[in-house]
A and B are shown apart, each in its own frame.
Chain A
């Protein structure tokens, strides 16, 4: 199953990062995120990390104050993402392309981004 989107949401249900691998209009995205977030936030920690929503299966994981939706788990401070939204996106772009996981080596993911910073 391909990845259709990756969303990061905080505990209040506000979107903090979103990448879609299929095109949805702004309204569709808005509605989708609202519904998913409502479903996931209502779940307790000991329930399983999968939620069915329409034709999507959402795999989510809560880490600290953030919900990573679609199997991206991690250790992230919400503010770091907020202040460096583009960087978080760049990393995601290294990891996931065409809805497929293409790179999982942290060295390979980070090196282009670090190089870009250096050149800057």
Chain B
């Protein structure tokens, strides 16, 4: 700030004098400044363009005048108009002997031209000359220009001189020469690969400016090749230490912070070097600890450095002390009122969560505040964090939130991103297929035009394959629920094309499958789709193929097919379609309607989309037919190779000629035909078409089904993993229940409406002081996001299973009634055993409660006391006992547990796994509270 004040003074000083500026220029600036709209500004600039075009043609323009014209050209381009008519004058000005004019020329050229512009060649010579100048300012101007204008081809022209300048006596020149070399390295690393040792050398430059500049190229080099720079770790650490000790000139200070930008650059470099390297990290511990202690968190720049320290710590292998210091800094950020600090807090949380997964839980309410903040930037950052911390226990809440947000925004760039994240999370963590389909429906409905087509294929495949187990009942339920949901959605206006494709395909395959919907009902819907989206040929194609399947299943099952009048007219319309694909499908449909049940059944067997298609490439089944034909005098087949060179266009069927009137012969190969565009009659007559694969496909029963089926089988889907994920017990049982501290009863009863999940109690430690009233809605959200098993999940469970853990919620039954919409989570899985018998020995619960009690009691000092009191048993043994309790109680309480195990994810195994995870996550924290004091103290 002070710095920019000085700069501002410098600028202002000039303007008072106003020397050398013509009235014209002053008027221009004034009128641009006073323009009230972009349109007005444009008008001013356009007239300025006219004026300058004329003026620049005048002979013998005085240099000072010319400089002003060049600046006016800069204005024109800056305000978005083309000033290329004047570029050449800027180029000429670089040749001028006067330094100010020269630099103005260089400036204009760097603003106007990119490095590949033709005019650059006229400047290279000037640059070479200027690099040899006695005036170091001229040399600097040339080096500046090099950084903007030199491309790969012109590097050799200036490289030797730049290298010489690395040892120039003026530090400003050395600094700029380093940056020029940096630029060369970026443009063409090979051109300077033999010179990188210069960067190391300049790191030891006496001048701090040169040293600071050298950090820029070194950062690039180190990110490309960490191993080669490990020897510099202690140098960087020592530089950082010296900077923090104020060894640099005062002029680098910013808000009393010594050279903060150099500090930040050093921290970035250290993060690279310490990543995954314990011994390198250890060298950094001391200086990082110092920074945490010294940083003034009342200024922006102090916080910027703290933030950079957090980033560094999340990259290196940190000491527990540092981790704690980082967590502490994050919590200060999150508690701040400043949105900038909150933003950094959320960002830091997202980084630290990778190495310390439990950290987010302490800040759950702060995170939720950010999620609900009207500030879009903060909201997005928070979604990023949620994305990073999604697990099977909170996926439903998080994805629901994401989808709501996705629906609410218009920015397609971000919409695409968040849609693909929803899909990714749903695929990875979906608790059930039903849920997965619901989520996919929402994504398609609201962002269908933005998602990858593979997502659609994935969904169709999931519906076709079902659970993958031999559970036909579940599969057909799944399909029915998909069909039902689609029939509901289908009449909504303006659905995305991709979604309609999925809908049509599913309705075709399974619309009539279990007899709930009649063929005429489904086919009517499909006709509506084809009609409503008549300009979308892909959708129409899908709809027609679906119709064909519906009719085929009807014929095959021996029912009489009544083609609805609207279907009939659709078929007739498509028979004359300009699209050969649609025409093809219509002809096939028409032909199919005339076939008998047996034939139809082999053409389109029921639910056969997952069957393998075996292709008989030799067409051996035709041998008899061919033999017969040859015997009756037909010409034998001449293979493609034998025929080469004598290809006739007549060999190709003229099937395309309705649409593509060939003006000339095509000698190149035709594109591979779509499988479904094979005329039905082709399968019954022999035509020597030189495309073996084409043929064999036509004879396969499934070939008439849509292209996507084929594609979907080719695309490598992640569904296998998904299934495993879903089948396997997951972690959902975790936090909310296990975190129930026995003492929570008091806390909950004093706040009856926050007794949603015991985990939601914790953040009160940080929030209670500021916000005594916490929206119960938020509490619930917090519980579901952070507290392991989500509220909504337990809702569903309790409504379906009808069970309530008897003891776990024993002390809170009244709370169920006041909030009928979302009853408190029953803290399933873990809650009961915890509450029943493990209470006294469960160390996790104590730990989870720590934050609460320390602050509720008004003293953070008894943290350790609380911990040791409440958890006299060692962690390992208590976990064991916990586990045994769990298994016992699950045996002993079949009523409570069976319904969960039957759902899959809630089995004992999950609990055990979770307990282990917690154990691992908990151990370090349990040891550290006092260490942190040491660090700070």
Contacts and interface: CB of A to CB of B under 8 A. Distances in A.
Interface of A: 12-19, 23, 26, 29-30, 33, 43, 46-52, 54, 72-91, 93, 97-98, 100-117, 119-120
B11 A100 contact: no
Given A12-B36, A102-B179, A26 B137 contact: no
Contacts of A50: 340, 343, 377
A15 B79 contact: yes
Contacts of B839: none
B266 to A, nearest CB: 13
A92 B104 CA distance: 13
Contacts of A112: 137, 140, 172
B391 interface: no
B74 A86 contact: yes
B339 A47 contact: yes
Interface string B174-190: 01100100110010000
B32 interface: yes
Contact of A97 (B5, B75, B104, B176): B176
A54 B15 CA distance: 38
B71 interface: yes
A82 B8 contact: no
Nearest to B98: A120
Interface string B38-52: 100100000000000
Interface in B104-125: 104, 107, 111, 114-115
Interface hub of B8, B115, B259 (most chain A Cβ within 10 A): B8
B32 A82 contact: yes
Given A52-B377, A112-B140, 8 more contacts: A15-B78, A48-B338, A72-B4, A80-B15, A83-B18, A97-B147, A101-B216, A116-B99
A38 to B, nearest CB: 11
Contact of B1 (A43, A74, A108, A116): A74
Contacts of B453: none
Contacts of B147: 97-98
A114 B100 CA distance: 11
The 8 closest A-B pairs by CB, nearest first: A74-B4, A48-B339, A100-B216, A23-B114, A30-B80, A80-B11, A105-B251, A106-B3
24 contacts: A14-B32, A14-B38, A19-B111, A43-B375, A46-B339, A47-B374, A50-B377, A72-B4, A76-B8, A80-B11, A86-B74, A86-B103, A86-B107, A87-B11, A87-B14, A90-B103, A98-B183, A102-B179, A102-B213, A103-B212, A104-B261, A109-B3, A109-B7, A120-B98
Contact of A84 (B11, B82, B213, B413): B11
A52 to B, nearest CB: 6
A76 B175 CA distance: 27
A104 B252 contact: yes
B789 interface: no
Given A48-B343, A48-B377, A101 B11 contact: no
B937 interface: no
B561 interface: no
A27 to B, nearest CB: 8
B773 to A, nearest CB: 21
Contacts of A100: 179, 182, 213, 216
B71 A87 contact: no
B682 interface: no
B36 A26 contact: no
A102 to B, nearest CB: 4
A83 B29 contact: yes
A117 B11 CA distance: 12
Interface in B406-432: 413-414
A81 B7 CA distance: 10
B33 A82 contact: yes
Nearest to A100: B216
B401 interface: no
Contact of A18 (B3, B35, B78, B98): B78
B340 A48 contact: yes
A47 B175 CA distance: 38
A19 B114 CA distance: 12
Interface in B135-150: 137, 140, 144, 147
B378 A76 contact: no
Contacts of B35: 12, 14
A46 B144 CA distance: 38
A51 B403 CA distance: 21
A103 B4 contact: no
A113 B6 CA distance: 13
Nearest to B215: A100
A104 B144 contact: no
Nearest to A91: B7
Interface in B77-106: 77-82, 98-100, 103-104
B380 interface: yes
Contact of A98 (B12, B212, B216, B378): B216
Given A30-B80, A83-B18, A86-B71, A74 B100 contact: no
A17 B254 CA distance: 24
A106 B81 CA distance: 33
A83 to B, nearest CB: 5
B627 interface: no
